[in-house]
Each structure stands twice: as C-alpha cells, then as structure tokens.
Amino acid sequence: MEKIKNYINGELVEPVGKEYIDNFNPSIGAVYSLIPDSDEQDVDLATKAAQAAFPAWSKTPKEKRARILQKLASLIENNLDRFAEAESRDNGKPLSLAKRVDIPRAAANFNFYATGVLHYASEAHQMEDTAINYTTREPIGVCGCISPWNLPLYLFSWKIAPALAIGNTVVAKPSEVTPYTAYLLSELCIEAGLPKGVLNIVHGLGHKVGAAITKHTDIPVISFTGGTVTGAEIARTAGPMFKKLSLELGGKNPNIIFDDCDFEKALGTTMHSSFANQGQICLCGSRIFVQRGIYEKFRDAFVAKTKKLTVGNPFDEGTNLGAVVSQPHMEKVLSYVTLAQEEGGTVLTGGHQVKLEGEQENGWYIAPTIIEGLAFDCRTNQEEIFGPVVTIMPFDTIEEVLAMANSTKYGLASTVWTQDITKAHNVAAQLHSGIVWVNTWLLRDLRTPFGGVKASGVGREGGFNAFEFFTEPKNVCIKL
C-alpha cells in the first residue's frame, strides 16, 4: 500500500518512528494509503530545517520568492486532474467540485499572494515639521500552519502562501483525515525549486503533530483553521507562550430570506449554501430563516429541489453530494438528526444514511436533510453539525430574525436575501458575523478580510490582513 511521506528539509522522508496510520477513501469506506504517524521528533527536525532556511529565504528578493510561488501555482494548474482526483478520493467530495473549486483555488492562493507581496508597502506618518515615523514589516521566522479536512489543499495553501510570500518559513500540518494533496504539493515544491527547508510538511495526528507544533518554542506564530474546541486548546498552549495566533473556527451561519427576495435566486443559491461539499464548509448556511409571507412556498420548493439531488459516487458526473469525510463524522452528523427529533423537529426530507451499491456499498453517505419545527435556541440550532443538515424556520420581523440569527456563540458568516438595499444594509450592520453576503453566497474577493467573531475565531486572513499577521511591525521615529 502506498505510503505518504513527510516533506522535511526539501526531501520526502519517512517519519522518525517509522509508524503509519490508515488513510481512508470515504466513498468506499476502505483504507487506500498510509500516513506517517509523526511525533515531536519529526516536528523538531522540520522546525530546525525551517529555522536554517529562514535567513536566506527572508532576504531573498520578493520578486524571486514570487516567481517560485507562481511556478508552484502553474504546476498545480498543470496537474489539475491529478490533484482533483486525489482530493475527491481522499475527502469524498464530488470530483466536479474539486476540479471547479478546490484545486483552482489552491493555485489562485499561491498566485494571489505571490503577486500581492509585490504591492505590499509599509506606512509612514509625518508629524508636521517635528518628526517622521516609518513602519517596517519584517517576516517573523518559522510559522506553524494547521489546517482541516473539509477543503484540504484550498485551506492549506491559504495559510502557507502568504506566510512564504512575505518571507517566513513554515512547518505545516494538513488534517490527518485528508493528507494526500498536501503530499502531492510537496512533490511540486521540489519541482518548483523551493529552497530546502522553506516549507516543511509533517503528517500525523492532531494531538501529536498539531500539539507539537503549537508548543514548539521555536515556532512563534500559529495559524490554525479547524474546530472551536481544538482552537481553544491551541490558545491555551500558545497564549502563555505569547505566540502570534490566528484562529479560524466553526460556524452556525444564518441564511435570512425576506419576503421581497428574488425567489428563484434565493432558492437556487440556498441549495448550494446548504449542501455544497456535503454541507462541510465552514461558511454553509445551516439555519434558514424565511419570512412568513413566503415561508410555505419556499419550504415546499426547497424540499422538492432537495429530493432531486443525487447522492452518489464522487467520481460520477451527475453526483451532487459525495461521501462525508469519515465514519465517525457520519455518525456525529446523524446523531444530530436524532437529537433534532428529540427536540421536537420534523424531518422534511433526508435524515438517514444512504447505502449505495457496488464498490461504494461501504461508503459514508448522508441524504441531504431539512428539519422544521425547532426552537431557535435548541441544541440542534445552536451547535455546529457540519454536514448536509439544515433547519428551516419562519420569522415575522427584522428584530425577531436578528435576535435568532445572533443567538449562537458563533459569528462567522451570514447571508441576507432582499431586494431592498436599505434593509440589506441595516440587517448586515446588525448581524454578529465577520462576513455578510447579500443576494449571493461564497462570492470571494481574496483581498477582503476573512474570519469570524465570537467563538468563530480570532484575527482575519485574506488580502493584506494575512501579511500583517505573518509580519512584525517596527516603527522608527526620526526627530527632524
């Protein structure tokens, strides 16, 4: 069986302990490769390599750094099919989605930050005739980047690209559940001529490799995307060490649909915001609030459309929903359907595992699920489910829907559907979330700040925000 390797100091290497763990293909529910079960020894080797590479990489002209990262982006584009197939097999997502979104976006992340660094300028503040201040921004050193399984290469590259472009070196850990495209990326880094030690990828378990990165004394920066519980654990370790910390965490996003929306657009986009990537996107709208005047019409049309979605082999062109990422995750998601029923909810469609035939008979599939009749403050409506399960609820007034939308501990993204621009603006201003989409969903301009409030995270990624995070400013004040 194929063994994935760590990428340390420019080479593909076995873990020091020579131990491996199983890597599953969720669409068939079977092991198809082995992942290094790395530990703190591997993290230490990676950190030493990254430290050794830092002085030269940070002093490399940014134009040269940019060229190497753009070459990496081109190589990803040239390998689109291979990467998309690998992502789909590792994660269970439809191949069409990986081809259209995940892999192009990974290439775009490298291109965006490679060119962005050429435009990044420092600030100067003049105090009339008294003094002038200028602020430099220097790369910090070795950055730890830890990413989740839902958009594996997309989110992995979203961290690595700005960290490297601005002159840091990196020790990165992809999710143990979806390591494969990060492994393929390490092969391309060698081909692109990335100097050894600049990027190091250590595979393995969160509580071993992730924890070793978090507590390593020579890694002063941690950029983490994942669950809120893990984020809190990382903050507990990294906080007292005064590390720079960026946390992109969970969400329980509201989708607010007013009577005066463009009905067909709201309906079509809500299908995507509910079930894209099997509902496993931190930005999916899992609580759908529909104004009373169109509630029944919207609910019935939404249920009818959902019943027509195809749950199937991720490699089939007609598949809308592939497999969820793992058996434990499938069981967790289905346990929320049981909880919803205990809490008084009615399952309008879905609510069960889907058993496919043939090679996929042991895969982990869930029917897209819509639940009605729940109180806004019950557990189902407050906790992140992270699967193809949404709830739908009517509302009457703006005040009422804002109170319900803002009632969770999360605050990542919200979607608002209305033709009334004043109302859209008013509601957007009062939503407790880092991102608000009006009459659209997941429309991303990579220059904009990305991140959440409350338990959805600390800090912002995206655009120059990422460069600010991955640098230390120094102000120099010169008396004139």
Rule CB under 6 A: choose which of 33, 106, 248, 314 binds ligand NDP: 248
Rule CB under 6 A: choose which of 11, 19, 77, 233 binds ligand NDP: 233
Rule CB under 6 A: choose which of 159, 173, 299, 460 binds ligand NDP: 173
Kindly state the smallest distance separating residue 149's Cβ from ligand NDP, in Å: 4
- For 225, the enclosing helix (H) or strand (E) is strand 221-225
Q: Give whichever of 227 and 449 is closer to ligand NDP, judged by the CB atom.
A: 227
| 230 touches ligand NDP (CB under 6 A) | yes
| 339 touches 387 (CB < 8 A) | no
| 185 touches 156 (CB < 8 A) | yes
The one-letter code for the residue type at 264 is E
Facing residues of 20 across strands? 36
| 223 touches 145 (CB < 8 A) | yes
Kindly state the smallest distance separating residue 325's Cβ from ligand NDP, in Å: 8
| 226 touches ligand NDP (CB under 6 A) | yes
| 203 touches 176 (CB < 8 A) | yes
Site string for ligand NDP, 399-438 (x = CB under 6 A): -------------x--------------------------
Among positions 254-283, residues that touch ligand NDP (CB under 6 A) are 282
| 214 touches ligand NDP (CB under 6 A) | yes
| 251 touches ligand NDP (CB under 6 A) | yes
Kindly state the smallest distance separating residue 331's Cβ from ligand NDP, in Å: 14
List C-alpha distances in Å: 20 to 210, 219, 439, 448.
16, 25, 47, 40
Catalytic residue selected from 85, 87, 176, 248: 248
Rule CB under 6 A: choose which of 7, 57, 110, 149 binds ligand NDP: 149
Kindly state the smallest distance separating residue 240's Cβ from ligand NDP, in Å: 15
3-class secondary-structure state, position 468:
helix
- Look up 143 and say whether it is catalytic: no
Spell out the alpha helix ranges (H) of 369-462: 398-405, 421-430
| 150 touches ligand NDP (CB under 6 A) | yes
- Look up 248 and say whether it is catalytic: yes
SS3 per-residue string spanning 182-224: HHHHHHHHHHHCCCCCCEEECCCCHHHHHHHHHHCCCCCEEEE
CA atoms 350, 352, 355, 360: torsion sign = positive
Binding site for ligand NDP (CB under 6 A): 146-150, 155, 173, 175-177, 205-207, 210-211, 214, 225-227, 230, 233-234, 248-251, 282, 384, 386, 412, 452, 457
Please list the active-site residues. Answer: 248, 282
